[in-house]
Amino acid sequence: MKIKLSEKKLKDIKADCEIVFVVNKNLGHKFIRDKEILNEMNFKGKADEVLLLPEKKRMYVGIGDLELESLRCATALAARTIVKSKITSLKIALYFADDAGRGIKALSEGFLLGAYSYQKYKSKPTKNNIKQIIISSENYYNKKIEIKNLEEKIKEAEIISKSVNFVRDIVNEPPSDLTPLKFSEIAKAEAKENNLTIKILGKKELEKLGMGAFLAVNQASAYPPWLIYLNYKPKNAKKKIILVGKGLTYDTGGLSLKLGDGMLTMKMDMGGAGAILGVIMAISQLKLPIEVQAIIGATENAIGKDAYKPDDVLKAMNGKTIEVRDTDAEGRLVLADCLCYAQKENFDYIIDIATLTGASMVALGEYTSAVMGFNQDLNHKILKSAEKSGELVGILPFNKYLPKLLKSEIADINNLPSSRYGRAITAGLFLGEFIEKRNKKKWAHIDIAGPAFKDKPWGVNPVGASGAGTRLLIEWIKGVL
């Protein structure tokens, strides 16, 4: 699907279908040429309302306002509707007057993310016939906008969208196909493709490093664990950022077994690891002058005779001991060792991202990621980056009372708090116990359990994996400079 810019007026551009946004129910603006038909069809132009008129070669899409995220979502809705047809080319005008670069990027991302669907295992996959999308310089506000030098914004949108769709693909993979070993092989292939350094540590190396928490989670799995390390290191890098991702390719809950419904989508429990793989690929392609390291703990949490148990005491890489109260609180155990490994050298920031707790959905709803940490300025910068990227983020606050809930009588810390309240935050505080004192202000934790996987389309996202965290982290890294 190729996106191009044109200085021609919309009526002079040849295409199979024209996309027209109906802004805030306004059926009278200059791009609307079928007002009588719209009235006959009782089309009100409400947000997310769509009407395709094949005989007129036009599609009308309701949009409540012209904020960038609204543009992105409306364009995605148009793409999601049209990919089901035999239409091969689209055209659209500009619906913004200021910051044309960000507007072009938003429109492009809407088309590229909205047209996605996961069809790998369909015997008769639905073909996406859209070959070309032409964006006209003609403007809804009747203002002249120069678009000659905005091709780089389309290129940026293509790189970011390709990375998000890559993450969606691997998160959607069935767990018997995307094993920890397969994940490491995908990482190898992408490292080669994107000029990244890669190092993969197996079970023996993890044992030598003393990663007792990570290894315990893996004990019952038929597949060995892997720690995947990738590095993008440009010349004269201005900052160094470390990303750590939870890579549970499947999570049964272990001996603290999940109910059937709770287990159904647990192939997505490597969503955090998938996101940071997509991010480092995009950063390399964008050629940003920032060193990025990605560390992934890839394993399964299975059941069997070798499974770790509630009441076990584990020792993490930094020597801290952990009393296991729930084997389904396993992601934080894997991340604890990965965070210890990540802090062997100096850096500017360390961010971990994980589908960690259902409690984050209780706190913020199913579409919003939770960010937390000891540095409020960093938390708020991540929040602002989310707004720019189109993702939703809310900040969950630490306080001095909650750490007491993680107290253990026989070990240094429990993996589950003594109270059911605030469990998204206590999970973040657990991870904070494995951040060295000198690095506390450099760290943030992002819980993407809510938006990572859905059974219905929403915004620019399809059914299934959304690629949550990918656009957010790319935008945040761009803003670090």
Angle between helices 100-114 and 68-82 (to 10 degrees): 30
H helices present in 264-396, as ranges? 271-286, 331-342, 359-364, 376-389
Distance CA 441, CA 443 (A): 6
How many CB atoms neighbour CB 348 within 10 A?
14
Distance CA 220, CA 222 (A): 7
Overall size of the chain counted in residues: 481
Position 414, amino acid: N
Q: What CA–CA distances, in Å, run from 31 to 21, 167, 439?
A: 8, 36, 54
Task: Identify the CA nearest to 452 among candidates 463, 442, 444, 441.
Answer: 463
208-221 as b/e: b if 16+ CB within 10 A: ebbbbbbbbbbbbb
Distance CA 390, CA 171 (A): 20
Task: Identify the CA nearest to 397 among candidates 378, 425, 377, 417.
Answer: 425
Tokens of 338: 């990965």
Which residue out of 258, 320, 388, 441 is catalytically annotated? 258
Which residue out of 80, 153, 246, 332 is catalytically annotated? 332
Tokens of 65: 């306002």
Does residue 258 have an active-site annotation?
yes
Q: Give me the sheet containing 313-315, strands edge to edge.
A: 313-315, 321-323, 413-414
Does residue 407 have an active-site annotation?
no
Q: Which residues are catalytic?
A: 258, 332
